[in-house]
A and B are shown apart, each in its own frame.
Chain A
């Protein structure tokens, strides 16, 4: 259990997360406008998105399908009946004066996500719900001293909001939860989950209670955390802030707070007394969402193998848990690895991917899906090693060349004459040359200085420009020197 200890008290940290994920549909939740990121301001706005008089929302079923898939991916119940409600409040970037969301009857309820604690143990976090809603637009305040601007491109973009039970006990766990959820979203392709592009935004509800106490403390909600690093930093700060107040006999005020990425502090946004009364009620412009068995079954059946199941499969095939975690942590890596998995030696596959290729990608700061070495080319290289056409050392050289040119291993080996010499005659010739040129060393060796064996191997490799098969050199040298 994660405990926060001050000089005065020991506290348990209680965290619940609310994560908004943008459902990656082509069009918006209630209109057919494009959802593409980075377009000219207000270039992707329909009359519906701008809430022109008399305009009506029409539900995008694809968004519901993807949200249902997400529900099944976290082992949740997907409701065949759910309702869209209006959440009423005024803001310049909220054209309708209400957000269409789900309040009383959400699409998804329950579910779990497995995370790691900071001690490395597995922990299951229960999910309360996922509901579907539309995003607001964006207010821009820094373009002019006396005017604000509104960009409605995001207005109406589909979101699904996941709410966890307050079962997360540390900033580390919170960050790991977001990583695990993000990975699931990418696996099932219901959200691009790029935090920098705002596909994923997280609110954290943080409270402290004295160790052993049954009573939950007053919570503060930190809004709009946009990276796993900021989630961790914000929670760390907030925990320390609340502990200091409690240590000094103070009371936590229920607040909504914002995280300042410059000072790394959380700051008051509004007090509970200023909270909106959202006056939720069912949106009369939309019918309840009724999903038939066929729709739900299709959402269930279309799920790919998920990270946890993948991991189990890898471990079963002899991959270490550590390596399996590395491979499943990124959907693109998994997809890459699956193209070589079971097609060659597993140890070679893992090693050449996770240390050799990753090392080169990291150095050049390239993402796996932009790797100049394709999965099939990496497999080709491993096949050359397995066929003993090249040694491991030469293989690294070949990979370097592949990394620059994107060519196949076999082509480089052939062209640059890197193929391992596996011809007894040729190697024997080299060995004979070494022996005749180093008679003194041969005598020393025969006199018992066996360490010199390595010298002869080195000479043989040097003369063959590294191409001689190390095993053959070893074998033939031993035979020759004995004589």
Chain B
């Protein structure tokens, strides 16, 4: 029962802390651009404000438009609940593995794209078209990176992967280096950060995620935005816990858990800082260069897998 309690607590904490992660990255970017910027807790105020407003629904909207925010948000919450954050000993660990995690995110993306096409405007169609193009190139790269990881550890269960990696002696695995690089590139593409998509833009020629949620308002928009923040936090957790697996508690002892929580927070803050720096020094790529970016991610994952077979196994 304590396991279940900690699982629900973890999910709740991550869901509530996701806007802070996004706020932190945005605040750092502003500072790097020599601006004062809004405080890191600004996203909370945005979400509260949105949830109080009325919903204005387009006349051509269908039930899918109204269902989609709830589905996207609940599927993202489910995905978050399967990722080990501070401990690997949770019962929900057996719920899903990395492939199912990718499946959940794909389900969310499916409904998000449908919602974009629902109202019958050109913006939504454009956003959906670009989103499915980019995700159809990113998903194989992501799965290849996970496969390399799985072949290294002989398991696709996330908790097993993190606990095995965390308990090994420090060894330099070229396959893990490459698959981590691939994972980072795919995470940037999937969460819609520069250089694939600009999270701050509202110009029609440059938006992907914003175009799909353009028609949403009120609490629906709050849910969609929150889901996007949650997705960024999810990918960040995956990256920091897979690349630097030390610090994740292996038991349910409270002292271990508190220590692990502090370490994970530190890792996330550091990752947020790196993300902010990388977004500040790069510009957004034009859409038809995105396949090259994702092709690079795929080649990195493929190289990781081939390094594993060639260099790491007898």
A and B bind: no
Q: Point out residues on A near B: beta carbons under 8 Å.
A: none
